[in-house]
Every structure is written in structure tokens, then in C-alpha cells.
Chains A and B, each alone.
Chain A
């Protein structure tokens, strides 16, 4: 995984033909935050731990959204590499809930069937939520195995090294082999809410 070249400052002219000017408003309604207040000050990207590995960075996503460049925003790697740490929201002078916007955009990416900008991360989330659907709770050991299967072949380092550390932690007993579960009625209740487009892919 190498640092990503930033796509926001390129010499290519912005193609506004397909721009959706209601996009920022729509995001604002769902995420409860006013995107038009964004100053493009870059404070968010400055504090973002994942900025190096993103194609736009949070400030870029805000700008794309305000310009209505939906396709670019939804297909970016930025929205998937965002870990939801809220460092951005903590520093944003306009108090924009940036991580909330990222949540909404990922949901839209799946909903509109746009090719996700980072598949292995999406598969991690899916493996996690499958574990929750099975037990009502997440089981880390099962999650690790499931995710490895879903992403086999995406980098030898991830596979060997992690299998090694994972096994070391299981041997040490740091991770329990048996899941913690909830009972049948509770499980069906949980399954009613752990739903979404991610389930039908």
C-alpha cells in the first residue's frame, strides 16, 4: 500500500456536465450537517490519519460534494479508507460532521452500485457484520478467518504475517476461540437491524 496521488489538484478541467447540485443538500439532510459551510480549509485532511492513503482526503470529498460531483465522490478510495475516527470533526472550524458524511457516502456507493474504491476494506466490514448476524455479537477469530478467505491473494504480507500474529494471539489465549452469543429471539431481533445493501452483494 503506497501513498495515493491526490486527485483534487490536477490540471484537468473539472467536468461539471453531470454535476448534481442537490447532492450537498441531500447529504446534509441525512447526515444532519451543512456542507455548504465548508471553507475547504483542509484542517480535516491535516489531522486525518489516513490522508496519505486517500485519493481526495476529507476536504476533497467535501469539495466534490458541494460541487455535486457525485460519481467522483462515490467511487473514491477516500470514503472507504476513512476509519471514522472523528479527528476531522474534532478540528473542523465549521463543526461539520465529516465522518457522518463519509458514512452516508459509503451507503450511497453501495446503494447506487458504484464500484467501491477499496474492496478489501468493504469485505472486512461485510465479514464483520456477517459475524454479528450469526451471533448477535462479533467474533474476532471467525472474522479474521472469513476476511482472509474473502480477500485471498490481495498481498502476501497481509496473509502470512497476520496469520502468524493471529495464531500467536490465539495460542496466548488473548482471543477466545469460542464466540460469545445471544439467544434465538434476540438474534432474530438483531438481524432485523443489521441489514442494508451490503447484505445483497
Chain B
């Protein structure tokens, strides 16, 4: 059912745009790479290798200062292009160009953050079904997680599968995006459409939990 089945995808959904505010950092995994994904003060989005070029501290523990990401450990600061801008222990030093964080291509589409390990991240257009519901981790392989949504009844009825690959659960359109973090862990992002009310969204959120139970029981 996957959205994007048949489309050659070079990018993976690492999170919902809603869940990463300006000047915030999160950790993500894309194709086995450990990443720090962060927003600068102007809402610009960046995805970097999650290792500080200094001593390898996770940059996802760092914090944003203006348009720079600062490492928590010794405070080295990196510009949006990944280059080191400032080393607190040597305030007078212009850091050499060679000190730079490895950057990845990242874009936002359909309310979702997409990362590519190539240089042209692209996202799936989920059309009107781009209202964020939630992200949640399934301890199982991607295929099992995806299948579980089709096998989990919502209010007593199995969801319908549309030709687009999207589902309709209890009359509510749903798009399920999957990021295989490992062979036994999948990060799922669920979208619905803007017209769905809060009570229905909460019900859909619980349906996601039910699908997770189905998937994890199968994987156990």
C-alpha cells in the first residue's frame, strides 16, 4: 500500500515538519546514516551527519545559535553550509575550511521532512492528505508495519485501500509513510486530511497504536 510504490524514491521520511520547531535539533536515521536534523532561526532545514568533526559528539545533542548549530561538547559552531565558523577555545582563530560537518540533502513536502543521501532529496506528494497525525516507532520490519495498517480494523471495519496506495479508515483518509531504521525497527509517519476533527484524529492515533500491536505481535 505504500505511498510512492512504483515511484523511484531516493529519499526517506525522517519526521513531521510540525514536530521540529525553528532553532531545534533532532536525531534521525536515513538509510542507516545517523543524522542531526535541525532548523535555523529562519525556519531553514538542515540534515547533517550526526558526528561533530571535532571529537565525534552527536550534533543532535547540540543547539542552534542564530543560523549556526553549536556542538554541546566544546561549543564548536557550524554554519548552514556545514563549515566550522567558531571554536570557543581559540576565539581569534579563523577555522580552516577543511573542518566541516557532512551535509545531506533535505526538503519538506506534504508536511514531512525528507532526507536523501544523494544530492536531490524529493518527497512524496500526498495531495490533500498532508495533515500531520503523528510519528511512532514499530519494533518490526517495514513490510510488517505497513501491512498491519491494512489488517487493523478501525471502529470494527478494516480500512479500504485506495488506488493511490492511501487508506480510508472509518471514512478518514490516511497516508502511512515508513522509514526503516533497522531491520527490526521502523519509524512510521501518519498523515490525514485537514478536514478531520480532533476527536477523529485521536481515534486514528489509537488505531495506529492498535496497528503497532498487530505488527509487533507478528514480529515477536
Q: Do A and B come from one complex?
A: no
Interface residues of A (CB under 8 A from B): none
Q: Which residues of B contact A (CB under 8 A)?
A: none
